[in-house]
Structures are given as C-alpha cells and as structure tokens.
Amino acid sequence: MNDATDWWHALCAIACMNLMAWTLSTAWLHRSRPEGTTWPHQRLQLLLSALYVLGCGYRSVLPVFDVPRVVMVDSFASSVLVGRTVATLAELSFAAQWALLLRGAAVAHRHRGAMAVSIAVLPLIILAEVCSWYAVLTTRNLGHVVEETLWGTVAVLSVLAMGALWQEVSVRARAWLALALIAGSAYAAYMFAVDVPMYWSRWQADEAAGRVYPSLAAGLADAASRWQVSHDWAQWRSEVVWMTLYFSVAVWISIGLAHVRLPLRAHPPAP
C-alpha cells in the first residue's frame, strides 16, 4: 500500500458514525431519564463525552503526526498547535469521565482506595498533557514516553480500583464493571507493551542520530507555522493502529460511560 487516503477516509466515516451514535445515545437517555441522583451525573457525562466525540472527530478529519509535522490537509487547522489543543481538551474530558465514575462508585461504597484513585486521575492526566506538549514542541519523544507511561499508570490504577469494588456493586452494575475491567486491562497492556516502547525506540534513534531539538519558544512557532502534507503510507503506518482504535473504540467507551447509572450500590447503606 502506497497511499493512506483510504485509511483517512475510513477515519472520517467513523467520525460521522460516532457523532450519530452520540446523538442517538443522548436522545435515548433523555427519553428514559431516570429519577433520583443519577441523572445529573449522566448529564455531565454526556457533556464530557460530547467534547471527546467532537475532539476525536476533528482529529479524524484533520489527522496530524505531531513530531514530524505530517498532515493530510494543507491548512492551519491541521497544524500541530491546533490539533494538540483540541486533543488536550478532548483527553481531559475523557479522563474527567473516568474520574467521575470512580468517584461516584467510591462515594456510594465509602471506598477510600477508589476515592484516592478518582482524585488522582485528572492531576496525572494533566501532567501527561504537559509532557505531550513538551514532546510535540521540542520534538523530544522522551516526553511522549513519560506521557504514555502516565496514561498506562492511570489505567492500571483504575483497573485496580474497579476490581476492588467488584464485590460491592450490584449484579447489574457488574456487567458494566466487567467491560471496564477488560477495556482498562487491554489498554494498559497495549500502552506498556506497544506504545511506550515505540516512543522509547524513537527517542533512542534520535539520540543516536544526534538530533538537535528546538527550544520551547522555537517549537511553538514551528508547531503553528510548519506542516508537511503527505498521503504516503510509509509516513503514516506507525500511527494507524493507535489512531484507528483511539478514534473508534475509545469514543464508543466515552459514549457508553453516560449510560452507567449511579450509585452502583448492591445493598442499601447500613444505618
């Protein structure tokens, strides 16, 4: 395969389907709106999910390979500066969804461990975003190594917190929890087995080649003004797997989180 255009078109189609899925999901939730305290939580989840769906849709239509500044569309809207800003807002929204879900379950069951994880999620992801910005501005892939390690760590902590809640939640909630455990475990495994080693090897290769890295200020100007249009499969091949999964499966998980009703209590609280 010499041309990545078909893959790009597939991403655009997925983005359209994701938007329709979010719209239908929202309409269904409004029609079946539950009584009690769970609806405000679900409404906030819908809002955060909308930001993630739109952000991923934008990045599907205007994909960018950050460090080498490779894009599909010749436009400032495709620049690393714009793309990374959109990605940051979307990723913080997704992280906030997980933090809210963990917090709700922790409060319902008075589980200190799950509560501690829910509090740690956003600060850790904010730090990951700072590392990401450092990487894309200076083109040091070491920043991506730290970023992806933090994302993987958050996934591991979340899986441990959800696993600790297994005996506490209702039978119905266990279906959601099982899916979350599977997804979180698979994500963590991918990050530590594939993503982190990939960025580490890129950084090692840059170091071996004696690459000269720009300063943050120079990198900011470069990220806002330079991009290389390419549909060459060789330049996009390394990004295909994570982008495809990120802009599809991760978005479906984000939409699904709004359907989880809180509290997830199996039994009424003890008096």
pLDDT in tens, 188-244: 999 999 999 999 999 999 999 999 999 999 999 999 999 999 999 999 999 999 999
119-166: per-residue pLDDT in tens? 999 999 999 999 999 999 999 999 999 999 999 999 999 999 989 988
- Predicted pLDDT of residue 2: 65
Tokens of 160: 């441990």
| CA proximity to 87, closest of 58, 110, 117, 114 | 58
Q: pLDDT category, 267, cuts 50, 70, 90?
A: very low
- Predicted pLDDT of residue 41: 81
Q: pLDDT category, 263, cuts 50, 70, 90?
A: low
Alpha helices (H) in the chain, listed in sequence order: 5-31, 38-61, 80-109, 112-138, 141-164, 171-190, 196-208, 216-225, 233-246, 249-257
- Predicted pLDDT of residue 264: 55
- Predicted pLDDT of residue 261: 76
73-122: per-residue pLDDT in tens? 999 999 999 999 999 999 999 999 999 989 988 888 888 999 999 999 99
pLDDT at 33 over 90: no
Query: What is d(CA 56, CA 14) in angstroms, rounded to the nearest whole number?
Result: 10
pTM metric for this prediction: 0.90
